[in-house]
Amino acid sequence: MTTEAAPGTLIDLPAQHARDEGSADRLLLAVALSLTVLRFYVAGRTGLVDDEAYYRIWSLAPALSYLDHPPMVAWVIGLGRTLAGDTAFGVRFLAPLSLLAGAVVLWRTAALFYGPEFARRSVYILLAMPLLAVGGIIVTPDLPSVLFGGLVLWALAELDRSKNANWWLAVGVFAGLGLISKYTNLFLGATIVLWLIAVPENRRWWRAPQLWIGGLIAALITSPVVIWNAQHGWASFAKQFGRVAESHGSVPGAFTAEFVFVFLVLMSPIIGVLAIAGLVHVTRTAISTRRSGDVLLAAAILPMLAYFLVHSLHDRVQGNWPSPLYPPLAICAAIGLETLVAESRRKAVFRAALGLGFLMTGFIYWHAVSPLMEVRKDPTEQLRGWPALSDAIDAKRREAGAAWVATSSYATTGQLFMGLKGRSEVAQLDQRIRYIFLPPLPDELLKQPALYVELERRVDLPLLQEKFRKIVPLGDLKRANGSAGGATYKVFLVADPPARPF
């Protein structure tokens, strides 16, 4: 940068630099706030996806934990519903705010280790990642998992800068909150241990009481999940950790290429290439110099990434599972831009990376609000048509003389819990451990006929025959989901249970 001045004028370069830094930070803040407003708009204009509707049921009756995940997502949704109402907007109210908070945390973490310019680049890259852009609208356990994972790294960065052992207490709090968000946050334990062992000057922290007190705090915060599992035959642990040994691929490694492809695409391809290049550079530097920031960044990524690569050798890795890796990979992408791209092309590549990421995000948002085309296996189809379908189901229920609505999948159960609230009880006939936190339905209600409704491909006739003596088909109902034919739901009147259905 060059600065011109009249002859004889003294230029205060530090002051000018500070003004430039302040302008750059204000621009970044304006972009982040604008995107937050956009996310609020999309959150209010679209229906819930199946998982969100299911997690909303959890928020109706807070418990120590749940079958599928720890309880944090239920608390997030419950607080959102309290603040903004029991609507799709209320369920999602904290999602855009969580992503905004995560961006602030990432800025501070990157600035502590690599300086403000890298921090700004990292946040721009974070905001342009399509996976996190979707995660800034939809409320799943990944939302708090990513936020608290980022807070752990920030607290460790503050500890490294200040050498104040009390930061270990904050690490313990954030780690515990991360563990009651999603079990994936267990990998942060490996991050911390590697950082302590690999950086020689960090080994002194093993002697600090605050380190162990922080660990105790994390354990205490996590204890409700352990207690719930102990009370329910370790069901949640078995469900989630059992995936480690499950195999669904006929050919070893059949899912690995898919995992790598989806992983990079959900970062946005240019960002993905920069992130991998930056990770390689950071890892090499961490090994050769043991620099604290590089070691922490590599340790925040490599253990979890290695696990998912191994997992992909025998089973599919869902696209959202690696989401806690994306914020530290945003820093890696900023580093990759510096190390991989020549200075003369750096600005153009950076703009192209952001442009592609924001273009992909814009397409997803637009398609979610107003479908642009018919897409095979369109994940946004879950967002559409539920109010009209719920009205049709309630009309069919009253017409058939059914007292309640039965289902056989958590997806339909969650959506109809939302769509029929105040009009009819809804209950899933199987997998009752998913709902043991809810008050049981009255026996008098269960003795009356029910309307069984389920997506055509999920209809479970053997289950109906086990639960009821009388099964009468009542035809089909369609949900307008943006496709030409819509989604077909089969409807049956079921009655005369040989025993209590549950």
Identify the burial level of 48 via C-beta atoms within 10 angstroms of its C-beta, where 0-12 means exposed, 13-18 middle and 19 or more buried: buried
pLDDT for position 248: 59
Full pLDDT tens readout for the chain, 502 residues: 344 444 445 555 566 666 667 789 999 999 999 999 999 999 999 999 999 999 999 999 989 999 999 999 999 999 999 999 999 999 999 999 999 999 999 999 999 999 999 999 999 999 999 999 999 999 999 999 999 999 999 999 999 999 999 999 999 999 999 999 999 999 999 999 999 999 999 999 999 999 999 999 999 999 999 999 999 999 999 988 876 666 555 566 679 999 999 999 999 999 999 999 999 999 999 999 999 999 999 999 999 999 999 999 988 899 999 999 999 999 999 999 999 999 999 999 999 999 999 999 999 999 999 988 777 778 899 999 999 999 999 999 999 999 999 999 999 999 999 999 999 999 999 999 999 999 999 999 999 999 999 999 999 999 999 999 999 999 999 999 988 889 999 999 999 999 888 8
Q: How far is CA 174 from the centre of its chain?
A: 17
Residues 6+ apart with CB under 8 A from 228: 63, 64, 65, 66, 236
pLDDT for position 105: 98
* Residues 181, 69: Cα–Cα separation, whole Å: 7
DSSP result, 173-235: HHHHHHHTT-GGGGHHHHHHHHHHHHSGGGGGGGG-HHHHHHHHHHHHHHHHHHHHHHHTTTH
* Residues 415, 88: Cα–Cα separation, whole Å: 11
Count of CA atoms in the C-beta half-sphere (13 A) of 478:
7
* Residues 49, 70: Cα–Cα separation, whole Å: 19
Q: Report pTM.
A: 0.92
Beta bridge partners of 454: 490
pLDDT for position 251: 61
Closest-CA residue to 326 (of 304, 355, 348): 304
Alpha helices by DSSP H, 268-321: 269-289, 292-311
- The residue whose two tokens read 């922290």 is 205
Show the CA angle centred on residue 39, arms to residues 36 and 44, nearest 5°: 130
487-495 β-sheet, strand order: 426-428, 404-407, 450-455, 487-495, 470-479
